[in-house]
Structure 1
Amino acid sequence: MPGVRRSIDETAILVDGPWRHRFVDANGSRFHVAEQGDGPLVLLLHGFPEYWWTWQHQLPLLADAGFRAAAVDLRGYGASDKPPTGYDVYTMAADIIGLIRALGERDAIVVGHDLGGLLGFAAAAFHPASVRRLVVLSSAHPLRQRAALAVDPRGQLAASRHILAFQLPRFEHVVTRDDAVMVANLMRAWAGPRWRETPEFAAYVRMCRDAIQLPQAAFCALEAYRWALRTSLRLAGRRFVRLLQQPIRVPTLQLHGERDSCLLPRTAQGSGRYVTANYEWRLLPEIGHFPQLECPELVTSEVVRWAKD
């Protein structure tokens, strides 16, 4: 019935497969990780409104290529802990480094999509010794995204209307209303036209609608976006900008869908100015906001190429 929230628990998202599910403690919280393969660690970070399942194709492909692939549920998402605080970029970047340590490694190849890409940039800036290489999908350097919101009102600011709405009190109830129909609408708007009409897209959206309705998940998901705007004019925000102005010394590959209407290509492309290490930019024709799902083989081959370079 419209307006009635479905009863969902974490078992709904612990999908069986060739991977194994495990829980690890890092940075004071418990995180769920789906892991497959042996070799150098590739840590996979999802975006909003997703969870580890966005990397369903990359886990076996990376394992076959000789890597240990680990897809994590970020703080507040999926089967990971959902504490009421800790959704600032400093803490979430520290979560990534803590996860690398908890998985028994000193460093990792970090692959991030959307929010995960932004956190990947932050982790590489704050903790460069722990990030061997960085691959960013459908995201931008935090300072580049911040600038685009200010100088591109008809472009990136208009595309970010959902982030402005997230600032409203109790908006998490709007996100989960009517079986999380807002999640379905956002994902349909952001997806590339070819993938949008496939049965896989419909099944994936259904999984994300379920995941965002886990207890406290919607609130936690919005808190990261609320922190970014709340602190923009405060001391913490100025400190954040100052720290991120340090050049990134981690080799970085950016993959971006030509049809991405959530994070515009022209916004993402300006991120290279913050990277002083080896940097590559690749625009993916006819692909929307979810390249890891829309063209999984291509994305995986690019990750493997970058990791082995």
Structure 2
Amino acid sequence: MDTPASPQESLRGAWSPPLPEADGFEHAMIETPGLRTHVASIGHGDPVVMLHGFPEHWWQWRVIAPAIAAHGYRVICPDLRGSGWTEAADPRFGPESQVDDIEVVLDVLGVQRAHFVCHDMGAISGMQLSYRHPERVRTMVTLAVPPGFMEFSPKVMRAFEHMPKLLMHRPGRSLRYLFSPRYMARPLSEQAIEAYLRPHQRPELEQAVRALYRGMVMAVSFRLVGGVYKRMRLHPSTLVVFGRSDWPFTEDTVRRVCRYHEKHADRFELAFVDDAAHFITDDAPDAVTALALDWFAREG
């Protein structure tokens, strides 16, 4: 006789493709004009919003979110436009498409102000929100991405070696190369890579890769190079975290490009994690959790 599926297994199977396993999360679709946003949440208390990187989704926070929720927080992990199980009617991207989406979703959820933990692509939207609506950001923790006011240095250019491939991405071309030792201090299991890339079984997600990088990532990169954010003041308390193996963002380089932070930010700190590279949430989830909780407590 077949064993009946548990309620959680049945729920995962209701999504297409099925959601990867992660205990304790609740899943919902938030309906807003032109967008259906998949949101995974866990816990109760003050809100913490986690914005994933590329090519990741809510599952990036499978270890960190429950650990933070256990300290009395409600952790909200949306799939950003062009990622995970979120569905957009319009395939185009503008420089602020994702931050616009985040604001609307938070309004629907009744979240006026929150702590934020953001990685990679999600850090772009977190930064934009910090500048646009600082009153909505209680604290900000960004991972593996320098702040918008960074000083330009040729030493950081190697960090963008992956960009040409993504700008020219063709549907069906594997994104597995992004999880190579170049970006990870510890090898990721085949099961984890499959979980991250599973949503790319959806044709619309494959089509979104080029649009995302051409319409949003490149546009914001030009703003960074042009010094747009240097002419703005960063008000929310911001912690920027890098893995010590995240070459070329060595500690010396990061401290150098952020050396004038007092001119540009009210409250800003840097932190560095041993044995971690770009995908720091997989390499060192416990360290990220500890740093975030400490920042919430000190600055919140």
The verdict on a shared fold, with TM-score over 0.5 as the criterion, is: yes
Contact 1:192/1:286 (<8 A) preserved? no
Q: CA deviation at 1:191?
A: 3.8
- Name 2:180's counterpart in structure 1: 188
Contact 1:251/1:278 (<8 A) preserved? yes
Q: Give aligned pairs, total.
A: 280
Cα separation, partners in 2 of 1:233 and 1:78, compared to 1, 3 Å: closer
Amino acid paired to 2:203: P
Deviations 1:252-300 (A, max 9, x none): 0111111114766566543572742221100112211122222212211
**Cα RMSD over matched residues?**
2.8
Match of 1:130 among 136, 140, 148: 136
Cα separation, partners in 2 of 1:88 and 1:209, compared to 1, 3 Å: same
- Name 2:9's counterpart in structure 1: none
Q: CA deviation at 1:116?
A: 0.7
- Name 1:258's counterpart in structure 2: 244
- Name 1:283's counterpart in structure 2: 272
Cα separation, partners in 2 of 1:297 and 1:188, compared to 1, 3 Å: same
Q: Find the aligned partners of 1:82 and 1:264 in 2 and give their Cα distance.
A: 37
Cα separation, partners in 2 of 1:275 and 1:110, compared to 1, 3 Å: farther
TM-score normalised per structure 1:
0.80
TM-score normalised per structure 2:
0.82
- Name 1:162's counterpart in structure 2: 162
Q: Find the aligned partners of 2:205 and 2:103 in 1 and give their Cα distance.
A: 22
SS in 2 for 1:34: strand
Cα separation, partners in 2 of 1:250 and 1:293, compared to 1, 3 Å: same
Runs of 4+ with deviation above 4 angstroms: 228-234, 262-269
Amino acid paired to 2:179: M
Q: Find the aligned partners of 1:232 and 1:250 in 2 and give their Cα distance.
A: 20
- Name 2:6's counterpart in structure 1: none
Q: CA deviation at 1:215?
A: 2.0
Deviations 1:71-94 (A, max 9, x none): 110011111013444522322112
Q: Find the aligned partners of 1:160 and 1:230 in 2 and give their Cα distance.
A: 11
> Aligned ranges for residues 81-160 of structure 1 at < 5 Å?
81-85=87-91, 87-142=93-148, 144=150, 148=152, 151-152=153-154, 155-160=155-160
Q: Find the aligned partners of 2:264 and 2:24 in 1 and give their Cα distance.
A: 36
Q: Find the aligned partners of 2:221 and 2:123 in 1 and give their Cα distance.
A: 23
> Aligned ranges for residues 18-37 of structure 1 at < 5 Å?
18-26=24-32, 28-37=34-43
Cα separation, partners in 2 of 1:26 and 1:248, compared to 1, 3 Å: farther
Higher helix share: 1
- Name 1:245's counterpart in structure 2: 231
Contact 2:39/2:58 (<8 A) preserved? yes
**Correspondence 1:220 to 2:208:** yes
Contact 1:192/1:288 (<8 A) preserved? yes
- Name 1:48's counterpart in structure 2: 54
Q: CA deviation at 1:185?
A: 1.8
Q: Find the aligned partners of 2:292 and 2:96 in 1 and give their Cα distance.
A: 25
Q: Find the aligned partners of 1:297 and 1:140 in 2 and give their Cα distance.
A: 21
Q: Find the aligned partners of 1:64 and 1:95 in 2 and give their Cα distance.
A: 28
Contact 2:58/2:84 (<8 A) preserved? yes
Q: CA deviation at 1:162?
A: 1.9
Cα separation, partners in 2 of 1:241 and 1:212, compared to 1, 3 Å: farther
Which shifted more, 96-105 or 86-95?
Answer: 86-95
Q: CA deviation at 1:28?
A: 4.4
Contact 1:250/1:275 (<8 A) preserved? no
Contact 1:118/1:140 (<8 A) preserved? no
Q: CA deviation at 1:46?
A: 0.5
